[in-house]
Structure 1
Amino acid sequence: MAWSATMVGALFGLGTQMYSNALRKLPYMRHPWEHVLGMGLGAVFVNQLVKWDAQLQVDLDKMLDKAKAANERRYFGTFFLLSVLRICSSIYFTWVTLNAI
Structure 2
Amino acid sequence: MPATATLVGALLGLGTQMYSNALRKLPYMRHPWEHIVGMGLGVIFTTQLVKWDKKLQEDLDKMLLEAEAANERRYIGSFHNVEGGEN
Flag structure 2 segments of 5+ consecutive residues without an equivalent. none
Q: Distance in 1 between matches of 2:67 and 2:36?
A: 46
Aligned to 1:82: 81
Aligned structure 1 segments of 4 or more residues deviating by more than 2 angstroms: none
1:37 and 2:47 matched: no
Q: CA deviation at 1:9?
A: 0.1
Deviation string for 1:37-92 (max 9, x for gaps)?
0000000000000000000000000000000001111111x21222223xx358xx
Q: What is the number of equivalent residue pairs in this alignment? A: 87
Aligned to 1:20: 20
AA in 1 matched with 2:32: P
Q: TM-score, normalised by structure 2?
A: 0.94
Q: Distance in 2 between matches of 1:83 and 1:74?
A: 14
AA in 1 matched with 2:40: G
SS at match of 1:74: helix
Larger radius of gyration: 1
Q: Percent identity?
A: 68
Aligned to 1:5: 5
Q: Distance in 1 between matches of 2:9 and 2:82?
A: 57
Flag structure 1 segments of 5+ consecutive residues without an equivalent. 91-101
What is the root-mean-square deviation of aligned Cα atoms in Å?
A: 1.3
Q: TM-score, normalised by structure 1?
A: 0.82
Change (3 A) 1:26 1:56: same
AA in 2 matched with 1:51: K
Change (3 A) 1:33 1:40: same
